[in-house]
Every structure is written in structure tokens, then in C-alpha cells.
A and B are shown apart, each in its own frame.
Chain A
Amino acid sequence: MKNVLEINNVTKNYGDFRALNNVSIHIPKGSVYGLLGPNGAGKTSLIRIINQITMADSGTVFLDGDLLTPKHTADIGYMPEERGLYKSMKVGEQALYLAQLKGLSKSEAKKRLKYWFEKFDIMAWWNKKIEELSKGMAQKVQFIVTVMHNPKLLIFDEPFSGFDPINAQIIAKEILQLRDEGATIIFSTHRMESVEEMCDEIALIDKSNKILDGTLNAIKNEFRTNTFQIGVQTENPKELEALLKENFEVFPSDFKLLGNEYTTNVKLSATAAANDLLSLLASKGQVQHFLELIPSANDIFIQAVHKNQ
């Protein structure tokens, strides 16, 4: 798959502080790419470099195969975490202005805006000032001005903050639809459940370094511990436990099943197969529950950052 964005060995210093250290990230076309990391890790610095708000001290950024130049601002849509619009400017005028700054002609901008305003059913807000709108309403306008010029690359920093669950759902749907129409999405968030839901690939930045990247599945594979959650209906749980401890690593579990099953977590060695465990359990009782503990994005985030301490 072709990469729409290639960031190679980017380093950025602010005075003595190194915000990004030799960071390389490749983002495939048509993907939703999660840019994760603790607060202050350097995500915003990286996003600002992609947006050419600041320049990298060293390293290169290619958009669609071309070295990034000011003309590319028209190919990028950016919704910063700290949202903002001119408070005393009318919604329509403001959107037109921002669209024109992105290089659209006035008539084209009007056409696009009409499409989006009708889609969100907010045509009535056109002549209202931002200060007259609620926060959620302003966020919708913010979303529209981010996407209205049909950019190749969309960067959303915490896109769902400020939206109620219903509107967050609508925005998520729109983002995925934009991806289906060919846009590539960079998605920076701390909400790991939305990473699981939406991201194809992720990169994890911590303390100015990229410490992890790849497809979500590959990373999960890398972080899986071969640990299974089991629940067995047996007459002699003590005997089963002893047997398990003899062959595997056993951790107490805290999950509940419906009956009085014996439950625990079992970690297999790297060479053991799940079937070995399963056949042992089946010989001792009725297997009610057998689930591999696949690390969540949340677990991976915490583990990777801890490891990097």
C-alpha cells in the first residue's frame, strides 16, 4: 500500500528541549492512523510539523511523494485539540474565509459548505455568530471547516472531546466515511476505546521518541502473552488447580461466570499451544469459558510507556 505521508528522521528542538528525537512514521493511504502518547510526549509538535506551523530542525516529510511545501496546506485538514473560531464572526462568513484560506474559490467554498451544512442540518446557523452557539454546535462547525476542502490528509486531535455520545457517533461515522472516500486520517487521542474502534495502524510516541508503531493487530500480536481466561465445571477444582500449576503459570482471576465454575488465568509458555491447555481442561470437566487475553490498546499503551521509563 502506498504511503500518503512519510516522516523520516524528524528532530525538533525548542531551545534546549528536544521535542522530537529522530522520529520516523509512515502512514498508508486510506488508513486511520492513531498517533498516541502521554501528554507532552511530542504529538502536537509532530502534528504542527506536518501542518507546517513549525519546521523540523532536521529530517524530511513527504506528502503523497512530494517534499512538503506551503502549497500542501490545501491538502491537509487539521482540527486541533484546542478548538477555536472567531467568536464575533458569523458562522457562514467564517467558514467561507477559512475555506478560501485553504485555497478554495469563493463559489466552490459556498457549494461545499452548503453540502455540509445541509448534511448536518445546520443551515439555520449560517448567519449566527459563534458566540451564540452552544459548545457542541460550535464543534460541528469546527468539524466542517476541517473537512470542507476535501483534503488528502485529515488530522484530528481529540476529535470527540466536547461532543455528546450521539454527536460523537455521527462524527465517527463521518470520519470513517471520509476514509472510505479516499482520505487518510491521523487520529490523536487518549481515548483508547476509540483507537480500538477506528484505527488500522498506530504509532506511540513517548518522551520525544517513537517507541512503537505498526498495525494494531501486529502490535497486539507482539504484546500477547499467551494468557487464557478459563472457566471449567468440575467436581474437584483443587485437583485441577494443582494440575494446572504443575504444567503452566497460573494467575488468580477476578472475573465471574454465571455458575460455580472454577475460574483462573493461565499463561502458556511460548512453545505451548492453546490446544494443549484445552485438551487438559476437557479431560477434567466441562469447559464453559476459554478466552485468550488479547492486550487492549490501553494495556499496550501503559505497558509500552512503563517500559520506556
Chain B
Amino acid sequence: MGKLKLIIQREFIAKVRNKSFIIMTFLSPLIMLAMGALVFFLMKKNDQKIKEIVYVDNSGLFSKEDFKDTKTLHYKDFTSLGLEATKKKVEKGDFFGALIIPKNDSLAILASSVEFYSKDSPGISIINSLENKIETKLRNVQLNYFGIDINKINASRIRSDIKMFNFSGEEFSKLINGLKIGVGAITGYLLMMFVIIYGTSVMRSVIEEKTSRIIEIIVSSVKPFQLMLGKIIGNATAGLLQFFIWGIIIFIITTVLSSFFGVDVVEMQTSAISAQQLETAKQITGANKLQLVIQEILRLPILKLFLLFIFYFLGGYMLYSSLFAAVGAAVDNETDTQQFMLPIMLPLILAVYVGFATVISDPHGPISVAFSYIPLTSPIVMLMRVPFGVLWYELVISMTLLIVTFVFMVWFAAKIYRVGILMYGKKPTYKDLYKWIKYKG
């Protein structure tokens, strides 16, 4: 195993000393944070611009009360100015848009004949909020007409908040679901990124040895399989170091930023999370809810999660990077890799899409379960499912399939690798690769 260690060391050092690695390591977290800050800033700026909307109410049903100014939307009553003059003003660009409410005896017809004029097409949220206002008002008018007291209706509104329990009698909160989705999504996404970045790095390193022709000297000292394994492990080690440094840098920067500006950067980042989750978060108020969440985080099988993360992370990375190594060995230069890359990238991307599409809505649905068994997608999809609690036999099936496939794929990749590294010239076809697999020794 001494030789394997030497190869891992060399690959690690060659990777880490590379200028682009150093730049990537120290610059990307800065770039990421800068991008985040920029997006946040732009979002703020975008929201801060006040839009003025004028309305012409010919129905006489609406009052100033119904059009209350918000932070970004201001309303003006132009009913007295008349329809045409108002439209002209908007066309000139004095105001963002004009809401025209016609007169009609039937509320149903009135509701569907309201018009909005604007130079720039309005965002969906503006239209939603206008529709909302009109619907509320017209409903109140209708209720009034039926002789129903609106105040009573408002007073009768009741919010339900279902408390969720599992069969061990433990209560769990809704926020934790968001947290589980977050953990699953981040780990799955992280794995995909890692596989792509370091898988291609393994591939490049193979191509480099091939084009510099040192490969023949190396394989006269070590077995090709050892070399391939050394490359895969060496690159992974460099990758883990990079991820580790990224983590530290991001931690330091966020700490420094939040203490300097008093900005809660974590909050800044969470503002990007979907509105639904924020809604959930808002609903949970009061100290006992917070306690519940903390309790629940502590109740998550952290060790199990961590071990499964390691297993699927390594399994997924090794499985894919051995394929990347085989591709590198099959070709003479990077431009020839494309036709072989597609079948590798496809399941990887599919896994992430399926993960995001199905696991989040139903982590135990049939599609999620199936994809968490299929070995090429299981590392990502299972990592996404794991926080929601996966039955032990599902884990056994998934892990067994992954291990079996892993062994088979590494064998398969090693075959192609062993023959490919010594082949030069014409770009091989899939048929050639099949022939190589059949070569003995």
C-alpha cells in the first residue's frame, strides 16, 4: 500500500499547488458572498422604488379606505379627472398604471371587467394585490347586500395550527420540515457539485498523464488500478480540504460582517428561502415553539445522518469519479471527452432534479424511493431523503445496491482505464470500449 500512498500524496500536492486551485479556494467564497450581497442589495433596491397607481372608480363602490398605500405601492383617486385624461397621464409616464373600475349593476360582471393600463407590464404581485383588493371589496358589498354583518364574519375567522406527533409521542414542529428539506437539498447539491468538480479533475489528471506520456513509466512501477485509485482519493482529499477551507472562510466572513455592521447575515441568506417556509417560520412564535425546534434538532439522529452522509458522499463520488477516470483514459484530449460525458452527467442531473421535485413534496413517495435505490442516483436522492427518516430496510437495499454497483463500475472503469491509457490516436467509439473490456490482463 506504500505505492498507493505515494500516488495519493503526489496527486494531492499536484492539485493543491496548482494556481487555479489556490485561487478557487480563496476567491470563490468571497465571490459567493459578494454575489449573495449583490442579489440582496438589488432585491432591496428593486423593492424600494415606489410605484404610483391611479384609479378611476365609476362604480362608486370603492373608497380611499380600500386603496391603502403600502411601502412600494401608492394609490391616487383620479375618478374626478375622468377616464381619458387619466389614461393620458399614465401614458405620459407620470404614473405607473391606471386601474379602471367600470359601472355595472351586476357585481359578477363588474368583477371581471376591471381594466389596468400601464406602459411597462406590471409584475404578477401587483396584479394579484389589485385583484385581491377588488375581490375583498366586492365580497363585502355582496355580504352586505345579503344582510350579513361583515364584522361578525371577521370575528368568526379561526386559524388552525395542527400539532404534529409521531408514534413515540414526540411532538414535532413544521419548521423542522423546512430544516430537513434544507439539509437534504444542501447535502445532495453539495455531492453533485463535488462529483462534477473533482470528477472532472480526476479526468484531467488522467489525460495529462496520457498526453505527457509519463503513464507508461508509471504503470511499469504500479498497477493501473492503484494509479486510478490513488488519483481518485488524492483529488477527493484536495477537494475536501477545499470545502473545509471554504467553510472556515465563510464562517469567518459572516462572523466579521455581522459584528461589524450589525447585520444578521444568516437572516439575509434565509430571506431567499421560499415564502412558504417563511410563513411557517412566522407562525411559530413564542419561546416554547423555539424550544420545540431546538429539542427536535437535538432529537435528529445526528450521528446516523453524519455516517450516512459520509457513506453516500464517498460512494457517489467514487462511483462517478472512476467513470470520469475511464473517460479520461479513453481519449487523448479534453475536447474528445464530450460524447462520453453525457451518459455520466445525465443520471447526476436527473438525481438532483428528481430530488428537488419529489423528495421535497413527498420524501416517501414511490418515485423518491425508487430513485433512492437506483445506484447512480441513490447517493444524491437518498441523502435528500435521509433527514426525513428512512426505514432501515430501505437503507440496506440502497446501500447494498450502491456497493455492488460501485464494485462493478470500478471494475468496468479499471478495465477501460487500463487499456485506454496506452492507446493513442483515433478517438475510440463505444464499440472500441466494449472490445477493451474483453481484453485479458
* Contact, CB under 8 Å: A84 / B441: no
* Contact, CB under 8 Å: A87 / B217: no
B219 is an interface residue with CB less than 8 A from chain A: yes
Bitwise, B219-236 to A at CB < 8 A (1) or not (0) is 111111000000000000
CA distance in complex: A86, B213 (Å): 9
Contact residues, B1-59 vs A (CB, 8 A): 3, 6-7, 10, 14
CA distance in complex: A83, B217 (Å): 9
CA distance in complex: A88, B7 (Å): 16
Chain A, residue nearest B216 (CB):
A80
Q: Tell me which residues across on chain A come within 8 A of B224, comparing CB atoms.
A: 53
Residue of A13, A76, A80, A85 with most partner-chain B CB within 10 A? A80
* Contact, CB under 8 Å: A53 / B422: yes
* Contact, CB under 8 Å: B422 / A48: yes
CA distance in complex: A86, B219 (Å): 14
Choose among B216, B217, B220 the residue that contacts A52 (Cβ–Cβ < 8 A): B220
Q: Tell me which residues across on chain A come within 8 A of B435, comparing CB atoms.
A: 15
* Contact, CB under 8 Å: A53 / B216: yes
Q: Tell me which residues across on chain B come within 8 A of A102, comparing CB atoms.
A: 221
* Contact, CB under 8 Å: B217 / A84: yes
Bitwise, A39-81 to B at CB < 8 A (1) or not (0) is 0000000001001111111000000000000100100101010
Which segment of A93-101, A110-118, A224-232, A264-272 sits at the interface? A93-101
Given contacts A80-B216, A84-B212, A86-B212, whether A97 and B438 have CB atoms under 8 Å apart is no
Q: How many residues of A contact B (CB 8 A)?
A: 30
Q: Tell me which residues across on chain B come within 8 A of A280, comparing CB atoms.
A: none
B307 is an interface residue with CB less than 8 A from chain A: no
Q: Tell me which residues across on chain A come within 8 A of B219, comparing CB atoms.
A: 51, 53
In the assembled complex, the CB of B297 is this many whole angstroms from the nearest CB of chain A, namely: 47
Bitwise, B173-214 to A at CB < 8 A (1) or not (0) is 000000000000000000000000000000000001100111
Chain B, residue nearest A58 (CB):
B440
CA distance in complex: A51, B7 (Å): 19
Q: Tell me which residues across on chain B come within 8 A of A87, comparing CB atoms.
A: 208, 212
Q: Tell me which residues across on chain A come within 8 A of B440, comparing CB atoms.
A: 13, 55, 57
* Contact, CB under 8 Å: A78 / B441: no
A246 is an interface residue with CB less than 8 A from chain B: no
Q: Tell me which residues across on chain B come within 8 A of A83, comparing CB atoms.
A: 213
Choose among A13, A78, A100 the residue that contacts B6 (Cβ–Cβ < 8 A): A100
Choose among B3, B422, B438 the residue that contacts A101 (Cβ–Cβ < 8 A): B3
Q: How many residues of B contact A (CB 8 A)?
A: 26
A14 is an interface residue with CB less than 8 A from chain B: yes
* Contact, CB under 8 Å: A84 / B438: no
Given contacts A78-B220, A97-B6, A102-B221, whether A57 and B441 have CB atoms under 8 Å apart is yes
CA distance in complex: A86, B7 (Å): 13
Bitwise, A92-133 to B at CB < 8 A (1) or not (0) is 000001101110000000000000000000000000000000
Given contacts A57-B441, A76-B220, A78-B220, whether A85 and B214 have CB atoms under 8 Å apart is yes
CA distance in complex: A54, B219 (Å): 9
Q: Tell me which residues across on chain A come within 8 A of B222, comparing CB atoms.
A: 73, 101
Main secondary structure of the interface of A (DSSP, over half): loop
B215 is an interface residue with CB less than 8 A from chain A: yes
* Contact, CB under 8 Å: B439 / A101: no
Q: Tell me which residues across on chain A come within 8 A of B215, comparing CB atoms.
A: 84
Number of A-B contacts (CB under 8 A): 68
A218 is an interface residue with CB less than 8 A from chain B: no
Q: Tell me which residues across on chain A come within 8 A of B441, comparing CB atoms.
A: 54-57
CA distance in complex: A78, B212 (Å): 16
CA distance in complex: A70, B435 (Å): 26
* Contact, CB under 8 Å: B216 / A98: no
CA distance in complex: A53, B215 (Å): 10
- The contact sample of 25 A-B pairs, CB cut-off 8 A, is A13-B440, A15-B438, A51-B219, A51-B220, A53-B219, A53-B220, A53-B224, A54-B441, A55-B441, A57-B440, A70-B223, A78-B216, A78-B217, A78-B220, A80-B216, A82-B213, A84-B213, A84-B215, A85-B212, A85-B217, A86-B209, A87-B212, A98-B221, A101-B6, A101-B221
Chain A, residue nearest B424 (CB):
A82
A89 is an interface residue with CB less than 8 A from chain B: yes
CA distance in complex: A13, B440 (Å): 8
In the assembled complex, the CB of B201 is this many whole angstroms from the nearest CB of chain A, namely: 15
CA distance in complex: A73, B213 (Å): 19
Chain B, residue nearest A50 (CB):
B220
B310 is an interface residue with CB less than 8 A from chain A: no
Q: Tell me which residues across on chain B come within 8 A of A13, comparing CB atoms.
A: 440
Q: Tell me which residues across on chain B come within 8 A of A56, comparing CB atoms.
A: 441
Q: A54-B422, A55-B441, A57-B441 are in contact. List 18 more A-B contacts (CB 8 A).
A: A53-B220, A55-B440, A70-B223, A76-B220, A78-B216, A80-B217, A80-B220, A82-B216, A84-B215, A85-B212, A85-B214, A85-B217, A86-B14, A86-B209, A87-B208, A87-B212, A97-B10, A98-B221
Contact residues, B418-436 vs A (CB, 8 A): 422, 435
Q: Tell me which residues across on chain A come within 8 A of B349, comparing CB atoms.
A: none
Given contacts A15-B438, A57-B441, A101-B3, whether A73 and B221 have CB atoms under 8 Å apart is yes
Q: Tell me which residues across on chain B come within 8 A of A53, comparing CB atoms.
A: 216, 219-220, 224, 422
